[in-house]
Amino acid sequence: MSVVNARIVRMQRRSGAAREDIIPPLETALALASRLADKRREASLRNTLGILDWESGNYASALRHYERLLGLARELADQYCEGLALNSLGVTLSRLNRHEEARTVLEESITLNEESGQQLLQAHALAALADVCEASGRAEAAKDCMEQSLTLRRRIAARE
């Protein structure tokens, strides 16, 4: 996500701005970025809007933003953004009770993030996959995923 978008949204939230006041300017910026074919800005804005929709329980809208974000990340050949988009898609599909699709997406994310060295994104994907496995009645797989996630998080913390 663009640092500027994140700061603007945080400032508006702190000032008590309602979601309804935050969304329209972001959508206007998204339309402009799309018209200008500014794919990086569009990706950032889609991520921000996806987060806002996800937080408000509007998972169908969040899913649309994350699907487009994934396409943009792939067009840009941005593996970090692609991993982030896959994680976001996975947790959103899970909230929509589309657990098999979520599992497939999160497994793809784990592989991509491992290959690109994005251990924190990989740890997040493993934790999300643990939730999906648990919801699907696969307790042992959920436990394995959570242990892998915790191992990665400890490794990251040890380096800091």
Dist CA 1 CA 9 (whole Å): 11
Please, is 18 exposed, middle or buried when counting C-beta atoms within 10 Å of its C-beta (0-12, 13-18, 19+)?
A: exposed
Give the HSE-up count for residue 144: Cα atoms under 13 Å, Cβ half-sphere: 5
Q: Which two tokens stand for residue 84?
A: 């982030």
Read off the pLDDT of each residue in 84-94 and give the average, rounded to a whole number. Answer: 98
Mean pLDDT, the chain, integer: 91
- Domain positions in the chain: 1-58, 78-160
Determine the CATH number of domain 78-160.
Answer: 1.25.40.10
Q: Which two tokens stand for residue 16?
A: 């008590």
Question: 14 falls in which pLDDT band (50, 70, 90)?
Answer: low
